[in-house]
Each structure stands twice: as C-alpha cells, then as structure tokens.
Structure 1
C-alpha cells in the first residue's frame, strides 16, 4: 500500500505541470509552485527507496534529508509570490531575510553527515528516527518555515476579492493541505523527538489530493479576476461554530488514535482527519453555501432579510475606497452581486458619442460585445419607469437577437436602472443566482433601488470629475498658448523695430550685417516656439549652463538695435537657462522701449558681488502705484492697450525657477527700474 501511494504521488507530481496546461490557453503553474512540487516529489521518491532498499537505507535517507532541507525555501518562495505583484519591495523585510537564509538548511544537510542530526538503533523494525539536539533544531526550523508559508497562503486567500477567491481557492487549499500535513508530521516529531516514518503514507495521500485540487483549479477555474467578499456578524458566528466543531472532532480522533497500535491505521486516521477538515474549509469558502446559510439565518433569526444600515455602510465604504475610476465601476458591480447573491453582473453606461449604453465592467467575465441604443424599447421603458426590470420569467419580446442571446447566456434576473436627475446614466444586469431557490421580494427591490441611487451619484461624480479634468487640461493649454503668443509678440515687436530702422539705414553695410545676424537669431527663436507647440503636453526642465550676463544683454539689445539703448557693466557668470533668461531680458527691454519716446534713454546694467544682477532702467511714463501693488505680476492684466498681460508674469516665473527675484522701482511720469537678481555661478 505504501509503495502504491508513493508511486502515485511521485508520478502525479512529475506530470502535474503538463496536466495543468492540457486545456487550451491554460496558464502554466508558477515556477515557484513547480519547484515546490518537485521538492515534494523528490522527498517521496527517496523515502520510498529507503523503505524498498533497507540495505542502503541511510544513503537514501541522506538524500531524502537534503530534500527536506529544500522544503522551506521552495514553499516560502511560493507562498510569497503566488497571486501577488512581482515586486520584491512588497515583501516584508523579515520575510526577505528568512527567504535569504533558508538555503542554509540545505547546506547543513549536504555538508554534515546524517548522524549529526538523527540516530536509529532499530530502524529496520520500528521505522523511527530519533533526533539529537542538532536534528531537533533542524526540524524546528523546517516547521517554522512551513507555518510561515501556510500563513502567507492564508493572507493571500483572505486579501483577494470574491471572484479571485473563487478562482484560486482550490489551488491555495491544495497547497495548504500539503503544508498542513507536513506541519502535523514534523510537529509530532518534535513532540516525541522522533520522526515516525510510518506516517509517510498520510503525506503521500494528501499530496495526491492536493495535486488533484490544484489541477482542477488550473484547468476548470482558470485565472483570477477582482471580486469582493463581505461577511455579516451572524454568518461569522456560523463560521466560529463550524471551526469549533472541527476541533472537537479532531480531539475525538486524537483520543481514538490511542486505541490503534498499527502505524498505518494511525496514518490513515490522520489522513481522514485532514481530508474532513479540508472539505469543511471548501464548504466554508463556497459562495453558494454561504448564501444558503445567510438566508437560513435571516429567515429564522431576524425580522428583516437585510440590515439596511449595514448594507448601506458596506456599499458606501466600498465605493469610497476605490482609488481610480475603473475601480469605482468595478466596485459598483461587485457590490450588487455580493449583496444580492449573483454570480454575474455587467454595468452599462451611457456613451453620448454612440448614443447607446455600452458595457464597461463585467463580473466573472469580460464585458460582452453588446450595446443597447437609447431608442431601444427596453431602454426607453427602463428610463421612463425607473423601476427594476424582472427577467426571471421571460425576456422582453422587444429585445433583438443579440440582446436575447446575452440575457439567456448570463441567465439574467434583474436589470437595475441608475438614474440621476432627468437622465439614466446606466444600468446593471444581474444574473446566475448563487442560490437558485432564493426568493426575491420587495425587500430586495427596495434595497436595489437604494443602492442604485448611491451608485448613480458615484457615476455622476465620476462624470463631473472627468469634465473638470478636461476643463483643466484646456485651461492649461490656454495658459501655455498665451505664453507662446507673448513670446511671439515680442519677436514680432523686435522685427518691427528692425524694419523701421532698415528704412533709414538699409544702405549701410554695417547695418546690413547687424540686420542679418538679428534676423537669424529671431528665426531661431521662432523655430524654438514651433518646437514648443509640437511638444506642448511635455514639461521641459531648465537647461542650465554657465552664461555671461553681459553677453546676454548685448545679444538681446541687438534685437532692438537703433533705439537709444545703452548696455554697461561688467562680466558676471551665472548658471541659468540661456533661452529662458533671454526671454526675460528681451521682455524688460521691449517694455522699457515702449514706455519711452525716441529721445529718452534706456539703460541696461550688469553687475554683481555676492549676487548677480541685471538692471533695466528707463525714463518713460512709469507705472501707477495702485497697479504696481495689486496687478503688476498678475497674468492677463496689462496697462497697454494691445498688451497680453503675460510678459512680467512669465518673467517672474522664470526668475523664481532659477532661485532669483525681480525688484521694481517706479514713479509715474519719471520712469521705472527693473532689477533681476540671480545666484552667481560657484
């Protein structure tokens, strides 16, 4: 019997990765799971050889001992990565440390003799290995790792959503069952300081059952999807009662085991206990069973079917916990399916472009390729009545062929409208009840409409937030466009000055040379503006280089050549974005030129000691005191008739981005002085 069980377990473990992929499009088992199953198969194989070949028992047992040492890293790695994001940072630091040092057990098993851990005075008849101190520590470490792996699998299962849990629960329970039998096997060894090899058949039988459950999960259930599970206090009391009964039964089995002298009978009894416990947990994780228990409790212990306050709080908490719009839509469908015990649900929302209701979110399956036009009679009736459409008895005759096929495929029961103000934003289609015998009454319909109002508000807020985001994007686009327009206006103004001067000095060779250079610079700047418009959504950082401020002043003054504009000062080096700073200088110079007539001078001074400065001074019309105090650097506000009100605002933003400041001194009808302060290069 032992040989047959072990051979079956080993064979199943070897072919498991291939069986799991026999279904078309089925996902292969994770590498960590395949490695863990391989280690379990190797342990079974060499324990079998130690029984079949007593003459070389210690040789086979040594190899088996090495495979036991690989159990902790293999199963811990699997438990930390299964159904979780592939992000090492998401693993707790302590668990990462434990995973990193787990190979030390394998190294100790490889390089130390078996006698350093166990001794067997009568292994031929008793099949018992006695542990010395090193062996006790070795198996205690294995037990701790296996418990941690089992806890990790439990956390994975409990933190998944409803549909994901339905998909992966058999695979998790299968792996958990094998970990559980290993924990029982090694815990008894630590309790009696012996490893009873007569319990090996129990391990083999549970491995076969575990692999069968994992195969079923891979082939039938497939990949996981997001779903949510909620539990009521009354249901929790049922869970506690069931678990309590389970432990009572285990205690009775433990008492009964004292009356069995044969080791195989004890192994069989242990296997039956674990199988019964596993069956109980499968039952507790069954959504249909939970729904039946919940309805039984509601009918026999409560006056109303629902605790409306609790249901409302659960639903609102679910919606408020959704971080993104897609999560919010999924939470709406999940909330309805969970509350009313439905296996499938689809949310349809209004698409104004297509004038139809399109599927956005589908539970347990991707949204179907079907839509309902606003002119369809079933939609019109739903929008006008604002009542739940009950399709359990018959599908409306007005439904077209595709709609009828959709309703029949999903065994549709209810269509719930989601209305806000005078429009229907969407509707939810629910089908495939978890409990086919459940009776839905006015209590269910009242709660459906109540939750539908909350869902409608959430959809309205989502729609308004999208509109607000679009408005902000357009506002940002307008703001950037205004900056570009202002830069273009400055360049056009500079070219206008060049053209005015050309009428008087075009025949002068030096002027022609200066004019060509200035025109070239202006064309380059216009090309830069075109590139900025092409990459408008991108945010460009400052491209800082070491720049001579006096040279910047001379180059910019050349663009407005011909006016009484004097550049003085000393060479000062600052680390700035050359193009951005030149915009500031050009804007200040043009403002000064426009504020003066042909007889009034404009002076540009460059200097600095600890801090560099560039000062533009004119003797023009000056700035009103009230305007200086309230609106000088405000966007879209200007004292010029044709001004855009962007120049000084943009200049202030650029200088502050460099860590500098702008100071202004002005007197009406006497002139203005703008000083730009910048950090000097180190």
Structure 2
C-alpha cells in the first residue's frame, strides 16, 4: 500500500510537471523518484521474506527497515543539495555523465530490475488458485517496472528529460497502479477489513457535510477562475441558498436523519468484528449440517475467514468421557497422545469455570499460571495461545484452540466475544445433532423391540408344535428310532429357543438380577472349564493373586464372559491365547477384570464406544447385538465395561464390578 500511494503521487507529479514545466519543480520530481525507488525496493524486500517463509508469515526482513530508511534519508538530502545546482531550460533538462541525476537513474533502473526479478520469483511460488488472484497485481507491477525501466534507459542514453515523456510515464504508471489496486480490492489481497467507529462518524457528520459543501463551492470557483470565468451574482447566492436549505432540511426532517442513521449503523462499526455478519455466516454454513463432522467443518470455515490465524484446532466430546481432536491444520505434526483431553485435564477444568483461556494475558491469575505450568508441553506442541469453549449453559460439547495471529497482533476482547458467540451457536448445533442421533438410535431399538415381539411369537408357536410332538409320542414311544429322533430334536429345539428368547428379553431391557456373592477365582475357573470343552483350540489362563469376591449374578456374568471369549475365538480360531487378570482398585474398592487376547484386535473406527452400540458389527453374518447385550448386562450389575487394543496386538476388555461386602 505504501508503494501504491507513492506510485500515484509520483504519477501526479509527472503530470503536473509536464503541464507546468518549471525548474524548481523538476528538482522536486527528481527527489520524488529517488524516494519512490526506496519504497519500491522495500516492497521487493518484503516479497523476498514472503518467498522464503511462505504466506501468512511475519516479515523478519522488516527489522532492517530503520537502517534502510536512515540510508535513504541521507541519500535524498544529498541529492536535494546536488539538484539545486542544476540549470533547467524551458523545454527540457540536460545533464552530464556522472552527475547526481545520472547515478540516480542507474539506481532507479537497478531497483526496477531487482523488483521485476522478485516479482517473477513470487509468481513462481504461487499455487494455481493464488495465481488467479494475483495475476492482475503482477501485470500491473510489471507495467510499472517496464515503464520506469524504459524512462531510465532513455535518460541514461540521451542524458535528457523531456516533458512529453513525463506525460506518457504518468499515464502508464497510473494504469499500472489502477490494475494493482483493482486486484487488491477485488480479491481482498490485504486480508484486512477496515472498520470506522460509529462514534467517529456521528461526531463529524455535520462538519463533514459542511466541509463537503464548502469544498464543492471552492472547487467550482477555482475551475471557473482557471478558465477565466467570473461567478455571477446569481450563481453565488444560489449556492449559498441551496446550502442553507440543505442544512435546514437535514435539521428538521426526521426521515432523512433516520435514513442517515441507518446507513451509518449498517456500514460503520465500533468493534473489530461485526458479530451479526459472522453469526449469519455461521448460520448459513450450518444449514444442512446433519452430523458432528458437518458442524465442525462449518465452524472451521467461519473461523478461518474471520480470524487472522491458520492454526485452528477443534476438540469434541463431553465432561464424562473427555474430548478428542477432530479438526486441525493440514501440517499439524503434534504428538498423538495429546490429541485426547481427559475429563479431569487442567485445561478442561479451567475452561469449565472461565470464559476463555488466554496464555498471552499480562496480568495472569494463579489459576492461569498453574494451567500454563502443567500444560506447558501440550501448549507448545500445538502452539496454542487461546482456547475458548464451545458451550451453551452448563453443556460443554467442545473446545476451540487457536495459535498466534500471523499478522503479529494480539488477541483481545473482540476476539473473545466473537468466539463466545460462535461457540454458543456451534454448541446448539452439536447438541441438536447428538439429540437427533440419540433419537434415531431410540427408534432403531424400538423397531428391534417390535421385531423381538414377533420373533417371540414365532418361538412360542414352535414350542407349541414340539408340545404336540410330545403328545404324539405316546403312540410311538415304543419305537426305538422314534425315541432317539424325538428326544434329540426336542432337546436341541428347546435349547435354541431358550437362548433366543433370553437374548430378545435382554434387548427389551427385561433383565432380572439375582444378586449373589461370587468367589471370583472359582467362578472363572468353572466358566473357562465349560467353555474349553467347546472351544478346544483356545488356551485360557487366569491370574488372580488374592481372594476376591464380587457382588453380581452368576448367570449374567457367565453370559458376559462367554460372549467376549466366543467373539475372540471367532476372530482367531487357531493358536488363540486368552489371559484373564483380576485385581482390586485401592481407590474405588472395585474389582477390575481384564481380558486380554492375541487376536487381530478391534477396528479403530469402533473404539471407544461404537463397539457397544446396537447393530454395529464387522463379522460376516453378525447381528451387532452381542456386545450391546453385554453392556446392558454389565450396567444391570452396576458395573462398567471398556474396550481397547493392546500395544503388541490383540484386544483388551476391562470390566469393573462392585466388590462384595
């Protein structure tokens, strides 16, 4: 922007000098050329840093700007003193070889070539999408470089400055500047929004109107005098009367004042952000977002467009299970174990009682200092400066983490307010999505309950048929072959129907617990002994170092153990080894039973909770209700169950049950 401002100013000086050729102003233009060359050089210097560090980086090269400015000041002062010695004719200016003007032309030409080279390097570093945005900027900049190079080459060749050339160069520089300015405005290359406070506008609205009126009146008078015209008495008083009428109408017309007030309220702001615009932008992005992933993508797009940072992180979860990192920058290389925040994490605890976490605050509270100390490695690995909650009321479904602004600025209260507004809106959308998913799951279970009623009806019919078979057996009981077939069929059918009926009743939440005190070692040994007769290729070992007793239902606990072991057997039939370890937690006094195997493990997509949801299965022909049934039975026993994978391969299930006594 400095280069563009200097470019347009130099164009005006060229145009005025061509129209009004005077020796004193020639010297002013020559000095302006040198100053413009320094500014043009600084722009190329900045391009060098952008090329080296990439977009969005803070220019380290601008630390040398004071040195360059000091050198430029000395050079310009010396050039002014030398230019005052020149003689300028009425039609041209001539100079000799090795005069200050000659060296100035060499310097300007060298700077122009350097800028052209940097522009070419800058263009090569742009991606395809960025080239489309910067193409007009580059074209305009090359037009400026080419025009200046032509003028300086002519000046060095013929040692002459002509007014006609100044007119042409003024037009070319203006054209190049307009093209560059168009690219900056049209594609928003500055990545900045300029806000003017309403208070400023209201304070100066009347003086501004008066200034505009007098400026227009003075401009008309100046133009008429330039062309030798006298402003008539009628025209002069017409302007005065019209101005008075305008002020009177503005003061007395409430409708006009209301329209002006509306215009100022909708186009000028007092805050860094216009929260209404950002809120509407997020509302538009959230339309059609039916999943948590869709809500996260919408939030990220709005944050990327409104905040001056490329380091945006989003965690989702809840206070009971913790928070998982679901959105992060493409070049993120942080530690994987830091991607999950436990429910009791100090940062979560801090965010739960504070509106935001800002590591850059000057006056840090003791609570903030403690979090900074405990989470120092975590914050540095993510390069986090600001963490804001995605919350509404007491609900905290997520977190937003931000790295430093690439502008070098600091986060302030406007940023905190914006994140609060966007966070509450996103939290509402997330909770709505989760509620919809829970409702869909409830409907699935309701449909399954209805299906189970039909299945139970069919099983009862089959049981009736078997009862009739038993009645007919009276007439054929003396036949040995009928006896064998009948007894085998009846026993098998009844056993199968009883098992199906038991599972379907479990799905309908019709589980009745027969509470007993269970000796865990003997119970597991008996359970494994019965299973190994059916699963001969599975090796089971039990590790219990103390006498442990749990409070539970032997039938339900047997079903839980059987289901887990059969799943492991179906995943790997050959060389399957299962190890069961039971210990008592010292803090909670609960009995923890860990079941480990050497199978293929559990798919990451099913962890940590999807594995226990109904209808979720990866087994061919599986119903997806076995482990859901297990979780229901564990909950009936007032316990918990979790699943995961071992580091060396294989699955791990952990049950927590109440100790007896």
TM range (shorter): 0.3 to 0.5
TM-score normalised over the length of structure 1: 0.34
TM (norm. structure 2) is 0.35
